[in-house]
Structures are given as C-alpha cells and as structure tokens.
Homo-oligomer: A and B are copies of this chain.
Amino acid sequence: MSGVGAGRLIGVGTGPGDPELLTVKAVRALGEADVVAYFAKAGRSGNGRAVVEALLRPDLVELPLYYPVTTEIDKDDEAYKARITGFYDDSAEAVAAHLLLGRTVAVLSEGDPLFYGSYMHLHVRLSGRFQAEVIPGITAMSGCWSLAGLPLVQGDDVLSVLPGTMGEAELRRRLADTEAAVIMKVGRNLPKIRRALAAAGRLEGAVYVERGTMKNAAMIPLNEKPDDVAPYFSLVLVPGWKDRPCSNAIVEEAKA
C-alpha cells in the first residue's frame, strides 16, 4: 500500500482539553512522530496543540495548517466550498511532502478525529497513498457528561447528536423523538435551543456545559442559566435515563 520509503500518517485524537485525557497510544505516537500538524485559525496555534504542548520535543517539526476562512462566509456558499476544498487539498499535499520523505506525521485532532474532526479531510485524501492510522480520542461530549457526572444513556436508549444550527421546528421534532440528546454548536443558537427543548418537554433535566474539561469548565441545569451567553463549543446534554433519581443532585454537586 505504501511506497518505498514512504512515511506514516497518524490522526491523533487529543480529547476534550485535559492533557491527562490523552490516550497512552496518543502519547506514544507523539513521542514517535517527526512532524506534528494541526489545523488552526490564522495566527493561533489551536486547542489541540495546547493540549499536547508539554509532549512536543524541541526537534519536532511543526506544520500548522491555517484555515483560510472560518465563519465570515456562509458555509453553503459555493465560493466557500471551493475555497475550503482547495485548502484541504493543499493541506494534504503539505503533509504528503513530509510523508514522501519517510517521516511520521501526527495530525492533531481535538476530540475524536473521525467524529466531526477536520483530520478526516486529510485521511480521505492520503490514506490510499500512505500508511494511515487513526487513534481515537475522548469526545468533547463524553468529557462534558463525565465532568457533570450525568448518566447519559442506558439499556436501549436512543441517543441523538444534533447540531444547534438546525431549524427550530426540526430540532423540536428530533428532541421529542429520542431518549437522550447532545446538542452541539450551541453559541448564539441557545435561545432557539431553549425554546425547542421546552416545546419538546425536555427542558427539565437538560444541562448546559461549556469548555468541557478545561480548567475553567462550567455547567448548570439549563433552566437555571440566567442568560443566553454561550461560546460556540458549549454543549447541551439531555440525559435519557428515565428514572434518574439523583441527576439534579449530581449536577448541583459538580457545581459546588
């Protein structure tokens, strides 16, 4: 599969933010890598890099891949699509240049690489040409419900992972049609999410979590949150456990 002298591509899940939530395999992969690549906003070094910073050897080559655009253009716009596709093409070639020299390239991916991660765009472009491996990471949502001590699903519960960007009626319909839900990409969608949860009869029990397992993490039952201020990467957790005798107590405790 891989050519003579070709290197190794590794998608490394860096988890929700706490460096201790890296897997042992991820730590080893970073120790073996020649190059560490990561997606980031222009001028920044990215959350994934911050998580692994203490593990980066001085001789490691860093390859930042700066997004050309983020939220300035409508994502359904054709010009945006062309630009972002070209960016992923160029990024894949920048990584390939190292792989062709026989290097091991670790690509950092916040959370889990193949679960809403940008790494997948490199994987589909390069895994046919080079040896490629994906090291899973703890997802942000898992970091959040663990921090909250909130049992999310049990037994035969259905879990729906929903983007907070979807329309209100559609969000309400889906919330009424599932035992448990995780609502991602909250940010400025919070007022809409609140209304959809209330209409679906699911506001009670819903927990708002921001900055997952970062040092400044915060959580609160959503119906007690006094404002609608939320960073983009906050989550709302809707636990599925029907008879959850302690979940509110648990959340209160985690807040204390």
Q: Interface of A with B (CB < 8 Å)?
A: 1, 13, 15-16, 18-25, 27-28, 75, 112-116, 120, 123-125, 127-128, 132-139, 142-143, 145-147, 149-163, 165-166, 174, 178, 185, 241, 244-247, 249-250, 253, 256
Chain B residue at smallest Cβ distance from A1: B253
What copy number does this chain have within its complex?
A: 2
- Can you give 19 contacting A-B residue pairs, CB < 8 Å? A13-B146, A16-B136, A18-B25, A19-B24, A20-B25, A22-B24, A23-B23, A114-B152, A123-B149, A124-B246, A124-B247, A132-B149, A135-B146, A136-B146, A137-B142, A139-B139, A156-B163, A156-B185, A158-B174
Cβ 8 A contact of A127, one of B113, B128, B154, B250: B250
Closest beta carbon of chain B to A39's beta carbon, Å: 13
Measured CA separation A124–B244 after assembly (Å): 8
Q: B127 contacts A246, CB within 8 Å?
A: yes
Cβ 8 A contact of A145, one of B18, B28, B114: B114
Q: Which residues does chain B contribute within 8 Å of A28, judged by CB atoms?
A: 20
Q: Which residues does chain B contribute within 8 Å of A113, judged by CB atoms?
A: 146
Q: Which residues does chain B contribute within 8 Å of A159, judged by CB atoms?
A: 160-161
Q: A151 contacts B166, CB within 8 Å?
A: no
Q: B136 contacts A143, CB within 8 Å?
A: yes
Given the interface contacts A114-B151, A138-B138, A142-B112, does A24 sit within 8 Å of B25 by beta carbon?
A: no
Q: Which residues does chain B contribute within 8 Å of A157, judged by CB atoms?
A: 116, 163
Q: Which residues does chain B contribute within 8 Å of A27, judged by CB atoms?
A: 24
Q: B120 contacts A151, CB within 8 Å?
A: yes
Q: A152 contacts B115, CB within 8 Å?
A: yes
